[in-house]
């Protein structure tokens, strides 16, 4: 009886687009007898005849007939590739697996939010930037990102070493100005790609409040099931001015000064304050909350307290605060 012919089988990710830029394959050697070791050679090319430059050339030597092959060099971004497996043993025994492909490599990096091709108009000076990257094997990852925002070719804001795929700067960008942004994605071995926004985004100057208002704090009483502190909102009309916000006990004694806070800011331009940043899902700016502690850091006793707000030299506004204790 004639011996069965040597057969090579290559199994890989279903198509048409690879889920990762470092995909995993399985190679199977059939009817290679006892000849060992076996040499598994996986190659990839942008053409089915493999006449173009190779995008991958991986060799594994093993005594096993079923071998996992993890690609550890990132495949070219958005390339369409064909994969070929050859298995060789000692002597002249070898077999080629049927061609695998085509498969398209996902984009290494895609800008998502603030990337309209026709431009965007925003009413926030702290926009949220969102991007995404193709998955990569943990053996060569993770991705790290450098983000830059430019205005007229100069850097307006920048950060580096970001591990997440969203970022919001903690400084305000100028209003009435157009910006572009870009991200550089890098892997620990040095591979990187930079992608810039397709168009600009423009930050408008939102309508300024027509009156200065100190709103009722919330939640009140506090703490509540969803908040450990109480939050303060206020609006400042033109031209803004010096602001103070203090917490007093019922005898009028100072308990805590919230404005100026740790940043020392006393003078505020006209605008709305206390709201959470757009897109964060938060209702409150952490600079303008009271957590029931005094200036000495100690938690106060359960009871009624008073918030005293002064702005731009106007008469003070008072709000009652009900602290339920901890």
Domains of the chain: 7-104 (2.60.40.1930), 109-203 (2.60.40.10), 213-323 (2.60.40)
In the numeric block, the tokens 């890098």 are attached to 186
Residues 124 and 179: beta-carbon distance below 8 Å? no
> Which pTM value belongs to this model?
0.64
What is d(CA 171, CA 4) in angstroms, rounded to the nearest whole number?
A: 71
Which single residue is written with the structure tokens 């850091």?
297
Which residue, 95, 111, 66, 90, is CA-closest to 5? 95
Residues in the chain: 326
Backbone angles phi, psi at 289, to 5 degrees: -130, 160
Query: What's the helix, strand, coil split of the chain in %, to 5?
Result: 0, 45, 55
Q: Could you give the angle at the alpha carbon of 218 between the alpha carbons of 217 and 220, nearest 5°?
A: 95
pLDDT in tens, 246-286: 999 999 999 999 999 988 999 999 988 988 765 455 678 88
Over residues 199-243, the pLDDT tens digits come to 999 887 767 788 899 999 999 999 988 889 999 999 999 888 999
**Tokens of residue 234, six digits:** 């206020």
């Amino acid at each position: 009886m004639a011996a069965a012919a040597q057969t090579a089988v290559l199994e890989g990710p279903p198509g048409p687009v690879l889920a990762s830029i470092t995909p995993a394959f399985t190679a199977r050697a059939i009817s290679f007898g006892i000849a060992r070791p076996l040499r598994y050679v996986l190659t990839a090319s942008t053409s089915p005849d493999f006449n173009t430059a190779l995008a991958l050339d991986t060799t594994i030597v093993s005594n096993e007939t079923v071998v996992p092959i993890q690609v550890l060099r990132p495949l070219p971004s958005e390339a369409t590739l064909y994969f070929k497996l050859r298995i060789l043993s000692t002597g002249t025994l070898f077999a080629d697996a049927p061609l695998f492909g085509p498969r398209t490599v996902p984009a290494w990096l895609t800008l998502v939010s603030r990337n309209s091709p026709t431009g965007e108009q925003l009413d926030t000076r702290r926009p949220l930037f969102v991007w995404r990257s193709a998955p990569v094997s943990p053996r060569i990852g993770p991705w790290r990102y450098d983000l830059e925002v430019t205005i007229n070719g100069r850097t307006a804001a920048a950060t580096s070493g970001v591990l997440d795929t969203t970022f919001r700067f903690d400084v305000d960008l100028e209003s009435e100005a157009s910006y572009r942004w870009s991200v550089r994605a890098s892997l620990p071995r040095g591979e990187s790609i930079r992608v810039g926004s397709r168009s600009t985004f423009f930050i408008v100057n939102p309508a300024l409040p027509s009156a200065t208002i100190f709103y009722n704090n919330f939640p009140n009483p506090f703490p509540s099931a969803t908040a450990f502190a109480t939050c303060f909102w206020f609006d400042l009309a033109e031209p803004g001015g010096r602001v103070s916000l203090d917490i007093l006990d019922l005898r009028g004694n100072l308990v805590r000064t919230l404005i100026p806070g740790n940043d020392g800011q006393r003078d505020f331009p006209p605008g709305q304050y206390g709201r959470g940043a757009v897109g964060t899902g938060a209702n409150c700016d952490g600079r303008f909350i009271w957590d029931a502690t005094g200036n000495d850091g100690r938690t106060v006793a359960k009871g009624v307290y008073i918030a005293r707000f002064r702005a731009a030299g106007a008469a003070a506004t008072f709000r009652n605060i009900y602290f339920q204790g901890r």
